[in-house]
Amino acid sequence: MLRSQAELGNEGKKDREEVHGSFDDPEGFEMEKLTESEKQRIVSVLRERHANLPCPRCGNNNFTLLDGYFNQTIQKEFKGIVIGGPSVPSVVIVCNRCGFLSQHALGVLGLLPNEEEK
């Protein structure tokens, strides 16, 4: 079952902190996090789309929504990295047992803002 962090309670929060430990900047910079309503929306859309199968790697059925987005760039060349090109903004689901990451494109989920609304 996919849970948002709001639904995870204390036990889930512990899992989440383990997952996120390496994302914290030692200088004290805090990554901007998703709001509770954003998380609830993402979880409910994933449920609507039937993204509810167990982990493809270990068969576990408990996941945590990562508290932020991935925005991987599409590279035309395999040498070097182009910054600022096209990208695929996505939400990331982490298996609570083996750490497998599943990414879901926000555009497909209908969660990207329209250009007019920006």
Residues that bind Zn ion (CB under 5 A): 55, 57-58, 60, 95, 97-98, 100
Least separation in angstroms between CB 62 and Zn ion? 9
Q: How far is the CB of 95 from Zn ion (least distance, A)?
A: 3
Q: Which is nearer to Zn ion, 5 or 102 (CB)?
A: 102
Residues 94 and 64 sit within 8 Å (Cβ to Cβ) = yes
Q: How many residues does the chain have?
A: 118
Name the residue nearer to Zn ion (CB basis): 12 or 89.
Answer: 12
Q: Which is nearer to Zn ion, 41 or 97 (CB)?
A: 97
Cα–Cα dist 44/89, whole Å: 18
Least distance to Zn ion, CB of residue 102, Å: 10
Q: Are 61 and 55 in contact (CB under 8 A)?
A: yes
CA angle, 31 then 104 then 18, to 5°: 45
* Shortest Cβ 63–Zn ion spacing (Å): 8
Residue 89, number of CB atoms within 10 A of its CB: 14
Beta carbon nearer to Zn ion, 98 or 108: 98
Three-state DSSP class for 72? strand
